[in-house]
Each structure stands twice: as C-alpha cells, then as structure tokens.
Structure 1
Amino acid sequence: MAHLLPTSLVDGERSRDDTDNDASDAGVSVGVNGGAHPPSMKAQKPSLFHKIRNQRSILALLISDSKIYAGTQNGDLLVWSLETFELLLNVHAHRGSVLCLYLSADGKLLFSSAGDAIVWCTSTHSRLYSIYSRYDVGDVFCVAYSPELQTVYLGAQNTSIQWYDLSQKDLRAPPDPTSHPSYRNHRFFDSKGPTGISTPRPPSASGPCALGGQDLEIDKEHIIQYAHYGYVYCMLLARGLSSGGNDSETLISGGGDGTVKLWPLQSDEDGAITKPICLERGDESVLSMALDGTVLYCGRSEGEIDVWDLDTRQLIRTVKAHESDVLTLAVGHGFIFSGGSNGIAKFFNSRHENISRWKAHEHLILASSVTSYHAKDIYVTGGNDGSIAIWDISDSVKRPKKRPVISNEQLVLSLEKLVSYRTVSSRPEYAPDCRRGASYLRNLFKQFGAETELFSTEGNWNPVVFARFKAKTNKRSKGKTVLFYGHYDVVAADDKEQTWNTNPFEMQGVNGYLYGRGVSDNKGPVLAALYAVADIVAREQLRSDIVFLIEGEEESGSRGFQTAISMNKHIIGDVDWILLANSYWLNDDIPCLTYGFRGVIRATIEVTSERPDLHSGVDGSQLISEALKDLIALLATLTGSVGEVTIPGFYDDLPPMTKSEHGRYQLISETLIRQNPELGDIRALAESFKARWIEPSLTIHRIKNSGPPNSSIISRVATADLSIRLVPNQTTMTVQKALRKALEKAFDRLDSANQLTIKFENQAEPWLGDPNNQIFRTLEEAIMEVWKPTGQKERQSVSTNKRSSKELRDTTNAFKSPRLSPVTSSTLSNGSSNQSQATAKSENRQTSQQQPSVQKPLYIREGGSIPAIRFLEQEFNAPAAHLPCGQASDSAHLDNERLRLLNLHNSREIFKRVFQELPFR
C-alpha cells in the first residue's frame, strides 16, 4: 500500500516539521519546471476572530450558511451557530472517528462517515440512513453525493469506492441488522478462529451511538475494489469534464498511490462509475483536494500542492507549499488555503504566490473551510489540539483598490496562446484542440474574475464558453446588461501549398501586424473585448453585468448553438444590448460600423442513377439519362443571363431602399473614391455595394461526380453545392420551399430515369439593425474618440488626386455599361490579400501605421452571414450592433491572415468605453 494515514492524524503526534525553514515559507512558489516566482508582498497575519475548544481532535469540518459542523476523534458530531458560536448539537454519531463531513448542494442533507456513512437531516438533526457494506471496508475516509443521481459515493480504507442509489432504498429488501459495522467485533479481524469463536468485542468507552433511520446495505455490484493502490483519501464531484463536452457529472478521487482519478458517472445505471481517467504525478499520497471551476488543487504528502487543469487534464504547476503533509485545502475569495501537519496555515493567490503564513494550531491542521458571513470573510480550521479557530481574513485577502494596468503585451501573449490551438470546427481530428482552446479561453475569463461555464451542444459539437462579469454596485444604480458574442473556431489552414509565410498556428508579429489563423476572425476581437472588461474590473468600475457567449462552431454554421443557448437561457439571464465584432472595414484606413448581414441557405443537389459508372464509348447514347447532364440542366434553370435568380417569387416583397440608406451609399462611395480614385466612379461603386449587401444572390460553389478522374466516364452520381444569400423580408424557410419546388418541377420536365435529392445544410436568417439606435450612437462616439486624427498626411496618391464632390458626381455621366464591374474586398484594401511579408513591409512603412484621417465611421452592410446574430436578437428581445475590428486586407479565411496591432489595441479601447457607457443610456 502506497501510503498509510499518518498516525498523528488521531494521536496528536507532532509532524517532523515544526520549524519554519522551507523555501515556500519565504514566499517563493516553485513551478513544475523548477522556476521560482518572485515573492509577493506579504499580507498581515489573519486575526483570530473566535476559538472553540473541544476535548478531542477535530478531524472533519464544514460550514453551511448558518452553522459550523465538526466531526471528532471519538465519533461525536458537533454543530455550532455561525452567528453566536453557541453549541446547537452534540450527538455521538459513530463508534469510530468521524473522518469526513459532506453537505449536499441544497444544504438539506449532511453526510458523516466512520466505519459506515450516516445521512442526517440538517433541519431536524435526525438520522435518516446508515449506509454500509459487509465487505471489509475499514474506515470510510471520504464521501460525495450527487443530488441529480441521488447517489452516495464512499471512498474507503480498503482502497475501494462504493456507492448507493438512494432512489432505490425503498425497493430493496431490508438488510440483516447484525451485518452492520457497529455489531462487528473488529473492523477487519473478526473472523472466527479454530475454536469457532471470534475475537471478543472490546467495551465501548464512548457510550451508545445515535439511532434511528433506515439501514442500507451496499450491493456487491456497487463496489470497485482497488480503485486506488492505496487508501482513498478524498473525493469531489464536478460537471462538464467528459470528453464529449456534455454536462454529466464526474467523480474525482485521490489516493495513497499518488494518483488522481476521474470517474464518469452513469445516470442510467444506478449512478455507477465507469473506467477512470488517471492523472499521475509521483507516488506521494493525495491527502486533500479542492476544486475551483475546472482547476483542481491536490494536497500531497511531503508538502506539495499540484494544480491540474481538468479541461485539458494537464498539470499546470506544482507548488512547494509546506515541508509537511498538506492535510487540508480550501478555495475561496480567489485564493487557495492550505493547512499542514505542522500546524502552519497558508494561503496563495491566483499566481500561486504565498500571501501569508501563520501558526494556526499547535500540531496538525486536519480540516478547514472558507466562507463569508455578515460581510466578514472567515477561514475556519480544526486541529488535533481539540480546537476550532475562526480567522478573520477580510483584510488579508482584500485586493488593492487599483490593480496594476493590464498591458497590451499580455493581450498579445494571450492571443498567441489561443491561436496555437487548432480550433478547426470542420475537422473531427481537431476536436481535442477545439476543446483545449475552449478551456483555455474559459480559464482566461476566470482569471479576470468572471463566472464561467461550458455549455454543451447538441450532437457533441464544440462547447459554448459562457462568462459573466458581475457589476460591483448596488441594484439601484446598476445599468443594463450587454452581451458580447464571438467564436473561437477557425477555418482550416493546412498550408499544403506552402503559401503561408508563417506557421498558421504559431502567431508572429511582422511590421506592426500579427499573422496567424484566427487573429482577425475572431480570436483577436474576442480577446480585445475580454481585456477591455478586465481593465474595467481591475479598476472596480464595472457598474453593469457583461455577458460573453463565445461559440466553437460558427465556421460550421453554428451547429448546436441555438439549442445550447435556449437550454441555458435561465443561466444567461436578461440581456439589453448585443454586441458583435466579426468582420472588417471596407478598406485599410476608415473605421466602419455594420448594421446588416445577408442571410444564407446552403444546399446540396444530387442526381443519382440506378446504373453504375459507365464508359462513354462503350455505353454512351441518347438513351442514357446521365446524372451530370441532368444536374447541369437543373442548375441552368436557377439563374438568368445576367446572374439574376429565376426561382419563382424570389424577389417578391423585397424592401425598397430608403432615402437615408441611399445617402449612406453615396457617402461611402464618395469617401472611398476620394481616398483612392482608382476605384472608379461613385455610381459604379455604390451599385456594386448594393449588389453585395442589399440584393439576394445565388452562387454555385462546386460540382462533383462519381467515377475515376478521366474523360471517358458517365458518372452514376453528380452533386452540386450552392448557397443563396438572403436579404430582409426573405426567410430561410420560404426560400427553401421555393428552391425545392423549382428544382423538382424542372426535374420533372427532364423526364429523366434518375433520382433527385435536395439537402439543406446550415442556414442563417438575414439581419438588419437600426443604425440610429443607442448602441450604434455609443459605438460611433467611442470610435471617434479612439481613432482621432493623427495629423499625418495621407498617401501621396491620395493628396495629389483629390477632387470635389461635384467633380466626383460628374464622373457618373460617363458610366454606360449595362453590367457593373464588381468591387471586391481585395480591390478595396490597400494591397493584395496574399501579398508576401516582404512586399507588405514596404507598403506598411507608407500607410499601415497611419491612423484613419476621418473621425466618423462609415455605416455599412455586409454580404456575408453570421447565423447567431438574428437568433440572439429574437431569443433575448434585444437589439444588436456590429463593430468591425480588422482591415479589408486582413485575409480572413485566406492565407496569411493578419490583424494590425493598432487595430487590436484600439478595439480594446473602444470596447472599454462601450461597456462602461452603453448600459446607462
């Protein structure tokens, strides 16, 4: 057996370390790689607020909202008032030492353990159940309870984990009363000898135990023997740790073999535990554990605390906390509290720096808990000196009123780390990286003080990262809630053609730009918004809740997102404003605000023949209904000679352009041509924008056919992928029906022997916001404040070719072509989207570090689609607005994706102003 419970646990023997000579006590925390963190400024020793004395060692301790519960060496269960410290209950609960106390999540059930586990009602203090096993368990060191499964889990001295489903307690035959541990002569050695007589039972010196309630015997099938190769010292329950991303529970156990195990729970099998995932790091026993979200702290023999990220199952750090065994851990107020077998108590900050240490008990600290009561932060410890100490830690854990400024360098480092996760949602092989990226993002939110969860998605798609930064103010002055939406998934970047100048997933900074997949779409803007809130929180100026929903399937049609949000709407709460940042400016110089996106329907049209692939020379004739011919004939019916969509009713009820919107297009065109006359004339540019933004369109993306890749095959199957972009007054359902009807009617006219299949994949409704509402006005003011003119001159090509607005309008008279030359994002940018860094270097010296020469942003619409935006508006009945952060040359979805550092920094400043001002308008 790897490690035995220290004899000093019950007999008061001093640990080998009663001295104060360890490096950790000097305020140094040591990482896994051996590097030491600089000591932080020590907080003052917590003051002893109250002390409760008892004749026997305090082995177990917990705090409810109004009571202190303690278990003692002689089997007593003690309860005190947290208000007055008056003793409310003293009952002899067990014949052996009370080694564990556990309170159910709702506070209604109290569990205590010795040789058996007893369930108590906290309101009446009556004994409800005694749960035990005939198997030689010895002592039960730890207990955990799942209210959802109504199942109790016991970790035992004989290395087993056992469980009992309380929902089945009335369906099973009553056990033999003489099998209860209280009737056994010895916990292990009660077998009958050669004479047929077992060892006589020693007389009890502690009096009769509490009676009442129901005896429940654990089935043999509900016992996992050798769950650890050592005592099972500690257990916890956690949610959302399964690899599939669902919200099921996991039992975490720590044992004398030095291993932590994660046991998924089966809700459909009486709460059974399944094959565990092992976290191994040395042989020193895991004596105590504490959980903070998905960060697990493990106290070990020899004085170390391991820090595990349970999302990624990685060891983050090992802290040399004590020279003696770490017998108890607690987490609260953003700190980690530890108690050693030498009576020394310590607490550490989120960077695992030792903040304070003091002598809390004469010998062992065996149990602890941390809480707040009546605006006082308290840390409670119990020791084998028979005392319970209540420490006032309010001053010790109080953070400075103004934290150090969170630098832009930290933002860039966080973005570099986030980019390194290959969060490609379209590739199943990248699912683990997507999960790790979500966990990293969630931990960032937690690091800055947010309450976070991972919302699982239907179909086990990538989870949604939810975070809430809560206002530090009273309800009367609290403003409206702002929801920020973004995504952490990216499109693929295989770079098989070696067209990237850098590794797509190793972010590099070159000439004022950050290069890497996702820096612009959408990891950079997401972190800019996060760090903006972190700035406000650090200054304790957050006066309204800010909620983040960051999904991992946007690049794959937001699979599972809507269901996940609807199912967790009670957690998200009410929302007043919605903010997005997932697109780009029209060019590289002028900030924009987006108030509209087209919707999209993606469809696959497949024509299939009953015949196999044939040879055109051997079998080809007009009698053969060829799948590819049929498909091409169908596709030809969908558009006209100049690209118009010919689906019946497709253009019905489209909204007319308003006078104000026409003025916006005029302003956009004038502004862009004034900067870059090479773009043509105003009318051509305006009409091009209208075609991209306010008119629907149909695009055929690819055609695939079956058979070998040669020119002699008559394919059995032919498939086409297409998309239709929608505008307001068009709905995905209506257009889907119209498309299906048109295709089926056209196919019937072919009189073909083949079969037609139409499949609709992801889709998004169009969105049109109100550019005159408060959120857009607030964004405009913030942009004008942050993107101030720098006084720098514009490019020479602009300054020498400026023309008046009248001259610009006069050029429209020369426009005669019936078909306009389209203006694309690449022609609007200041350079090729695929330019090399060498070329970019020359250009960036000229223009890229120059701030925009105009203050007021351009109000634009987008031809692309974001599936979530219209859904969020409808789900929360709140208006949305969109802030493009990047430039036209960012090359999102393309090779060499990039984001200008200046845009990243300024976007952070814009978000900061909006999050502070918008909720109160």
Structure 2
Amino acid sequence: MQANRLMAELLQHDGAMGSSGLQRAVPDDGRAPSLAHRMKHDKSILALAVSSQYIFAGTQGGEILAYSLDTYELRRTIEAHRGSVLSLTLSQDQSLLFSSATDPIVNVWCTSSFGRLYALWSPYDLGDIFCVAYSAHHKTLYVGAQNTSIQWYDLKQKDVRPQPNPASHPSERKNRFFDSTGPGGVSTPRPHGADVTLRDAVGGQYLEIDRQDVHQFAHYGYVNCMLLGKRILPEAPAEEVLVSGGGDGRIVLWRIDATSGGAISSLFALEDGREEGESILSLARDRSFLYSGRFNGEVNVWDLETRQLVRSLKAATGDVLTLSLGGGHLFAGGVSGLKYNQHYETISTFKAHEGLILASNFANYNGKPTFVTGGNDNTIVIWEVPDCEGRETDAKRSNNDLMVESLNQFVSFKTVSSLPKYRADCRRGASYLRSVFQNFGAATEMLNTSEPYNPIVFAKFRGNPASAASRKKILFYGHYDVIAAENEQAKWKHDPFTLTGEGGYLYGRGISDNKGPIMAAIYAAHELANEQNLGSDILFLIEGEEESGSRGFAQAVKAKKELIGDVDWILLANSYWLDDHVPCLTYGLRGVIHATVQIESKHPDLHSGVDGSALLDEPLKDLVMLLSKLTGSHGKVQIPGFYDPILPLAEDEEKLYSEITATLLRGNPDLGDAEELAQSLMRRWREASLTIHRFQTSGPDNSTIIPRLAKASLSLRLVPNQEAFEVARLLEDFLQSEFSQLGSKNSLKVTIDHQAEPWLGDFTSPIFQTLESAIMSVWGPTLGRRRSSVHALKHNIDYFNPNPNSGSDNRPSPTTSNTLASGSGEPDEQGFVAQKPLYIREGGSIPSIRFLEKEFDAPAAHLPCGQASDSAHLDNERLRLVNLYNSKKIFKKVFSELPLR
C-alpha cells in the first residue's frame, strides 16, 4: 500500500546533521526564506505546532519539546508517548495541545502548565493515529487512524460519561503479535521500553471513545491528514466542516452533526478521476481553495466552491509531506522546500534539512511572520520570510530583532587586533559601529590612537533637555576587537564570523566578548531616547585594542578628555557568570605584569661535546637558577615586599564568599566542604601569583647546542593595593640582585612588556546596588532548584577538591566550566528562589578599568552578561539569546535609575 511508503519515510532516520548540513535558502529571485535559528535534538522531528509563546515539536522518541518562540530556549521536554509523535494540534484559543502517536493514545495537554488534562483512546485496535483535528465550536475531537477510520469524542460529555475500565487502556490489551503464543506456548518478548512509565504522561482524566462514535472505512487507506474550517460550503458559510485526506487518494468533506455528539457524515469527495489515486499526504486551506500534497512532488489546487481541480503543480520536493500557508504564500516540504506565490508560481526553493522536511508550521509572532520546519536530521529550523509581511514591515520588527541584525553585521567584521592582516577589517568594524550610533542620533567621533593601533569609537546619547540640571553622566566602556579565530582545523561548527543561531544561542567570534554586551547597551540607550525617558547622558568609549593590552588607549583618552567631559559612573560588561544559572556582579579584578627575563653570553652558540665544561657560564643554566629564586614552596613569591600592600580579608567580603559557597553547595552538595571551596576561589581571585610561561633559546633545535642566549616569559598577577609600577620595580631589583650573586660573566636584561593595574570596586556603592536591583527585577524569581549535569558536576568536584592521588590533570578552566549552582537565596512559600546576584571577583585583568576610574575620578562596576560556558577566546564562542535580551533590559534600568553622585 502506498501509505506504507509514507510511514517508512516518516520514521526514516538519517542520523545527526553534518557541519555543512543546514543551509541558507537558495534564492531564485531573492525572496527565499532565510535561516534565522535552528535547534538540534537527538531524534527526528515528525510534528510541529506553534502558539503565541512556544514551538511544540513531536519527536520519533515520543517526546514533545516546548521551545520559547522568543529566545528559542528549550523550556520543557514532555515525555508524552511510548511511540513516535505523529501529530500535534492546538485548540483555537491555544490553551490545549493535542498529541497523537503510534502508541495509540491521544493526550491533551495544558499549554501553560504542560500537565496532561486528558488521555483518550479507542475501544478498537486502530493502529497508529496519524492526525487529530479539534473543533472549538463543537468541543469535539476527531482522530484519523491507520485502520482507515475517523473517530470522535465530544468533550462536553466527558463528565457525564462513565469512566473507562482501566483494562481497556491500549497498554493493557493483548497484542496480536507480542502476546501470541508460539511453539511450546511461549509468548514473543515485548520490545525494550514497552512497559516504561513516562514521567509526564500521567494524571488527567481518562476518556474512551464510544463504539458508536466511529466511522469505519472513512477512506480505503490510512487517514493521513485532516483539517477543520468554516466558509467551505457556499450554501452554509457558518457551518464547520471536517476535511480528510487518505491513502486512497481521495479528499472527503464531512458534515458535523452537533445534535449527535459531533458525528460526521460524508458531504462529498474530491477526486481527480484516477483509477488508483495516490495517497493524500498533506492538506492546507486558504479560504475557498484547498491544497493537497501527494507523492512525487504533486500539489493539487482545489476550488471548494466548484469542487474542481483547478491546478496540478509539480514541486521539486520529492513527496510532499507537509504544506503550510502564510502571508499569501504556499510552502511545500519534502526532500527540499518550495515556496509558491498567489499565482502558483515557484518563487524560491530552499534546502531546509539534511534529509526530509517532515513537518512545517507558519505563525505570526508579535506581527512577525515565522516559518518553522522539522526534519529527520533531528533539527527544527526557524526561517524569516520578510516578503510575507505587510507594508509596515519595519514597524513590526521588534528592537530585539533589529539588535540581532546589527550584531549579525558587527560580528561579520574580523576585528582581530593582534594580527596586522586584519587591520582594515578593524577599521571597517569601527566605522560600522560608529554608523550604528549615528543612526540612533548619538553624537560620535573617532579618537585616533598612535599608529598602527586601532581607533576608539566615542559616542554620546544626550539626555532629555528638561533634566539638564539632574542628568547623570554614565560612561560605558567596551571593546570591538576580538581574539583570532582561524578555522583551518574546523573546530568551529560554523564560520566564526557569520552569526549563527542554534539552540537558543548565538554563535560567532566576539558575540560574548564583547560585541553582544556592547550592542545591548547601545539599544538600551536608544530605546530610552526613543521613549523620551533618557534622563542621563550616556557616553560610550569602545576601543579596538583591548585584546592586545589596550595599546594607545590611555594616551588617546587623555588627549580627548575635554571632549568626553565629566563622568559620574563607569560601567563595563566584559566577563561571565560563575556558572550557567546565577547572575553575577564583578567587583574585583587582578592586575598583571608581563615580563621577559633574558640572559646572554658574549660567546656564540657552542657544541656541548667540544666546548662544554664546568668553567663555562651557560646562559640557560643561569636563567634556570635565577628563576628558581622567584618562588618557594607552593608558589610563594620570594620578592621582598611583594605581599606587603595586600589588604587583609575584611568581614563584609568574607560574607560574600559564604553566600557564594552556600549557593554552589545548595545546588551541588557533592562539591564538598564550604571552607575548602571558599579558599579555592580566594586563591584565584584575591591572591597574587607568579607564573613562568615559556623558555626560548638561540641556536638550532638539537640536543647538543649550548645556546648563547636564553630567555623566559613570565607574568605576575597582582591584587588590589599592589601598584603595577612598584611591583615591576621590585621584580627588576630582585632579579638584578640575585643574578649578581651568581658571579656569572653573562649579562641580564629584564623587560617589562605590559602591565595593568588591579581593580577593586566598592560593592556597597550606589552603582552596585542599582545593578543588583535591576538584575533581580529583570531575571526575576525561578521556581525550584535545578541541579547541574553529572558530567559538569564531576568536573567541578575535580576542580574545587583536587585529589593529588587521582592521577588526573583534566581540570576545567574556571572561566569555561559549566555549572556550579542554580539559584540564590532561600525559597519562599511557593518555592520560588530570588535571583539575587552573586558578588564575585575574577583572576583575569582588564587594563583600562582602573585607568578610567583614576582619570575621571568616578567609580566603576562590572556586569557580566554571559554564562560560564560561553567559550570566549575559545572555539564556538556563543551568547544565549535570553542573556542578550535581559542584559539590554538591565542596562536600560541602570541608565534610568542610577542616582546623582
């Protein structure tokens, strides 16, 4: 039977999609859908339904996935069925979601709580349930099945009908195959997982279809698809009609009898006169026109008023497994996607999936048309279809959409400051950023640094003139340059300089560090100005050399200090949360000194066998002995006076560590002792350290050479109250003193390559308190407490409680390890946990922050926008969409609510 072929294709699984799998649409005339976002799963996507809030996807594994239509985050995985989910249908008011599968059960779900309300089944063995339709007018559910029947249930009668006998549930019935006895009276074992209890398919009211509410042989083949609608019958436009398509190639229109509990009777069938009709695989309707999809790319257009086949289109999609209508366009899906206009002309084709398009849906989200497809490559794809919009396209596009579009362009510039070949890209990136400011009405100027360094983009949003006397001056600092992202080894899943949406995240070099936070701050200021609520002057200093030590930044800012003017508060957003769940505020950074220690002899490179002797002062030996003097046991720095300026741990700061460890251990008690955890964090955040990074020698690379020159690179991480200039002097004096005691004939040279001051903010100041209030308002409370994954938990246990006998050195970097906890504060009576931010310090350095504080005599605060797993500076850098959107909201509140100093 032809429909068997349909099922074979529906349940076909081509495996995971390769890195080149999902492609942008291939335009025929520039009007093809463009890929906006994609979400990956581990099983084929067989059904889709889109509400005003969620994308619901039914999988081959029996789950229903609920994704946020705003941020594309997976909000819930519902264990719905023991078999593949074949259809999803929303009620007209979107409060109910109907799912059918191969189990064969129809479950009815609440779309707000995701709880099951009803479980419905047939008294007969009807096989797989391919389709469901729901009449809100009649409150009646219709089921199209593999056994060729259409069955129905009047939900108005659910409370007056007798409860079904639990023994009638399909899972309790004897299966003709698995429960039959073979030779010796032994039954065939049931398949693995057949008796597994599903987490979510529990509770609710059990409903059984009455034996009389069945229309046997509705088709002479499987009932593959159904839809309901009014204005189908010219003589009775208000009457709701059921339309079904089957494996017999017929489309049947059914009258609904409300007086008989929603019973159906045949009105007429649409047939094209073929002796053997091929299966109707999909249906879609636009007013009086009905579209049907068949095998081999055939799309039929029926006029319901005359009941005639008016067009037969040939689609280059293979079998037409799905049809969707939206914005005056028809979308057909199979091996590929096809888009038709109102004249039935093919206007574009697009490659949506690596495999078959098995489901599609068209929705209007906040006035923005959105096309969604699902396939057997385990992915859901979100498409933008701008030509399906009305004339007020720009007015309908939200600022979040426009912000992502701006980021798309911003990320495309390869603003790598460390490589001269990208110098022109850096200039173009700076110019684009300036144009964004200008388009929003900000006054702008390029602040030149000394050649060949990249310029600083200065911009100013002027606050409302009426508030001139009380306007604050808030300086936002950021950087548009990024770390290099060469992808010769294909470690990136996508082109690092093409913004790619996947699984609720945006991927691209610089998206988290620091282009995403910059754009969020710009759009926050722009929205306030548009709303005429900008009561502050918002200044922006966005440099292009931060990843290369902020070369030329201080000199350029000093030269243009009069242009910049007074500053009350300084805000930056250039780091990440401690984990992936709890927002943070950073109040301290370590400083850094990078130095090179070089020892050189007057003799050339020598041969150890010919020239080596105890009388020869070898530079590499001298270097090793000299460096050994720098640290003692457990890395304690031996430079006299090095630790003297360091501030002791104050009582109020000690409480912050208690809050951090309490939060981490609340979510993951296996992390161990709170005191040990706190000490581990303090060692990385508030203790100074010295690291030797690498050695370099002259001469050829072989084991017999005595090099004439040896040098080493080292760094010192400084903590607040240590002055970089003074520590650099102490380092040079100590090395010269120790070297003189060696009595060597060689010469020593110490070079300070770079230095950045440590920074410590006042976490009790108004700017931190305003940020805390904004974070709690924007992120809000969360219900319950999530736990980190076992994999992530193990890594953090290894990191915070290292076992010297474990034999493992695979500890994660604290900036990229995903996970410590999930909430902060105690739950209230309803179980909600307040998202109070954690106050943290960091071990890294940002050269400009302390300079700006000193230069403008203004306090700074640091808002981390991203999660610990953002992979900044690493492959596949990303930023979660919800973090981007919420960061904009936080900036907006802070720009509005910061007080005058």
Give the alignment's TM-score, normalised by structure 2.
0.52
Is 1:627 the counterpart of 2:608? The answer is no
Identity %: 56
Equivalent pair of 2:667/2:788 in contact (CA under 8 Å): no
Q: 2:419 aligns with which of 418, 427, 444?
A: 427
Q: Is the 8 A contact 1:607 1:719 kept in 2?
A: yes
Match among 715, 727, 734 for residue 723 of structure 1: 715
The structure 2 residue matched to 1:893, chosen from 873, 876, 884, is 873
* Structure 2 residue aligned with 1:867: 847
Q: Amino acid of the residue matched to residue 865 of structure 2?
A: C
- Given candidates 419, 436, 439, the residue that maps to 2:428 is 436
Task: Measure how far apart 1:830 and its partner are.
Answer: 6.0
Aligned with 1:675 (options 644, 647, 667):
667
* Alignment partners' CA distance in 2, 1:425 and 1:563: 18
Residues 822 and 442 (structure 1), Cα distance of their counterparts in 2 relative to 1, 3 Å cut: farther
The question of whether the paired residues in 1 share the 8 Å contact of 2:609 and 2:704 is answered with yes
Aligned length: 495
Q: Distance in 2 between matches of 1:450 and 1:484?
A: 14
Query: Which amino acid letter does the alignment assign opposite residue 781 of structure 2?
Result: P
Q: Deviations over 1:557-577 (max 9, x none)?
A: 111100100110110011100
Structural mapping, 1:38-77, within 5 Å: none
8 A contact 1:481–1:919 mirrored in 2? no
1:910 matched residue in structure 2: 890
Using the alignment, how far apart are the partners of 2:860 and 2:670 within structure 1? Answer: 35
Matched, 1:489 2:469: no
The aligned residue for residue 592 of structure 1 is 584
Tell me which amino acid in the other structure corresponds to 2:609: G
Deviation at 1:676, TM superposition (A): 2.3
In 2, are the aligned partners of 1:787 and 1:852 still within 8 Å (CA)? no
Counterpart CA distance in 1 for 2:688 and 2:573 is 23
Quote the Cα distance in structure 2 between the aligned partners of 1:647 and 1:818: 32
Matched, 1:558 2:538: no
- Cross-structure match for 2:7: none
Letter in structure 2 aligned against 1:915: F
Structure 2 partner of 1:761: 753
Moved more, 546-555 or 528-537: 528-537
Do the aligned partners of 2:472 and 2:535 also contact (CA within 8 Å) in 1? no
Distance 1:822 1:577 in 2: 43
SS in 1 for 2:729: helix
SS of match in other structure, 2:506: strand
CA–CA distance in structure 1, aligned partners of residues 841 and 532 of structure 2: 36
The equivalent residue for 1:733 is 725
Aligned to 2:738: 746
Change (3 A) 1:445 1:476: closer
Q: Are residues 1:498 and 2:478 paired?
A: no
Alignment of 1:805-824 (within 5 A): none
| Structure 1 moving runs of 4+ over 6 Å | 33-36, 402-405, 814-819, 821-825
The 1:652/1:775 distance shift into structure 2, 3 A limit, reads same
Please give the per-residue CA displacement for 1:570-629, whole angstroms capped at 9, x wherever unaligned.
100111000010111111110000111111111111112222222222222222222211
**1:642–1:565: structure 2 CA closer, same or farther, 3 Å change rule?**
same
Indicate the SS of the match to 2:620.
helix
1:468 paired residue among 451, 457, 460: 460
Distance 2:509 2:803 in 1: 42
- Secondary structure, counterpart of 2:658 in structure 1: helix
Give the Å deviation of 1:853.
Answer: 5.2
Match of 1:787 among 779, 784, 790: 779
Give the direction of change, closer, same or farther, for the CA distance of 1:725–1:828 in structure 2 (3 Å limit): closer
Give the stretch that moved more between structures: 423-432 or 867-876. Answer: 423-432
Partner Cα distance (1:469, 1:735) in 2 = 40
State the Cα distance separating 1:496 from its structure 2 match.
4.0
Match of 2:519 among 527, 537, 540: 527
1:867 Cα deviation after fit = 0.9
User: How far does residue 679 in structure 1 lie from its aligned partner after superposition?
Assistant: 2.7
2: CA distance between counterparts of 1:920 and 1:406?
32
Say whether the 8 Å CA contact 1:452–1:468 is kept in structure 2: yes
In the alignment, is the contact (CA less than 8 A) between 1:679 and 1:828 conserved in 2?
no
8 Å Cα contact 1:451/1:467 also seen in 2: yes
**1:619 to 1:603, Cα distance in 2 relative to 1, 3 A:** same
Matched with 2:162 is none
Structure 2 stretches lacking a partner, 5+ long: 1-27, 32-391, 821-830
Relative to 1, partners in 2 of residues 1:781 and 1:825: Cα closer, same or farther, differing over 3 Å?
farther
Q: Give the match for residue 228 of structure 1.
A: none
SS in 2 for 1:750: coil
CA RMSD of aligned residues (A): 3.2
Instruction: Pick the aligned partner of 1:773 from 765, 770, 775.
Output: 765
Give 2:499's aligned amino acid.
M
- Determine the structure 2 residue equivalent to 1:884: 864
Q: Distance in 1 between matches of 2:477 and 2:748?
A: 39
C-alpha contact (below 8 Å) 1:585/1:885 kept by paired residues: yes
Tell me if 1:455 matches 2:447. yes
- TM alignment of 1:265-280, pairs within 5 A: none
The corresponding residue for 1:640 is: 632
| Worse overlay, 728-737 or 823-832 | 823-832
Residues 462-493 of structure 1: per-residue CA shift (max 9 Å, x gap): 10000000112225554211000000111222
How many angstroms apart in 1 are the aligned matches of 2:582 and 2:760? Answer: 22
Alpha-carbon distance between aligned partners in 2 of 1:449 and 1:404, rounded to the nearest angstrom? 21
CA distance in 2, matches of 1:824, 1:545: 45
Contact 1:826–1:889 (Cα < 8 Å) also in 2: no
SS in structure 2 at match of 1:758: strand
Please give the secondary structure, in 1, of the residue aligned with 2:575: coil
Residue 572 in structure 1 maps to residue 552 in structure 2: no
- 1:207-230 Cα deviation digits (max 9, x unpaired): xxxxxxxxxxxxxxxxxxxxxxxx
The CA distance in 1 between the partners of 2:635 and 2:705, in whole Å, is 30
* 1: CA distance, partners of 2:748 / 2:713: 14
Amino acid at match of 2:579: N
Q: How does 1:103-122 map to 2 (within 5 A)?
A: none
Gaps of 5+ in 1: 1-32, 37-399, 802-807, 834-850
C-alpha separation between the residues in 2 aligned to 1:818 and 1:710? 35
Q: Return 897-906 or 880-889, whichever deviates more.
A: 897-906
8 A Cα contact 1:536 1:542, kept in partner: yes
The Cα shift of 1:773 comes to 0.8
- TM-score, length of structure 1 as denominator length: 0.51
8 Å contact kept, 2:410–2:433: yes
Q: Say if 1:590 and 1:852, in contact at 8 Å, map to a contact too.
A: no
Does the CA-based 8 Å contact 2:607-2:705 persist in structure 1?
Answer: yes
1:515 is aligned, of 507, 518, 523, to 507
Q: Which amino acid aligns with 1:783?
A: I
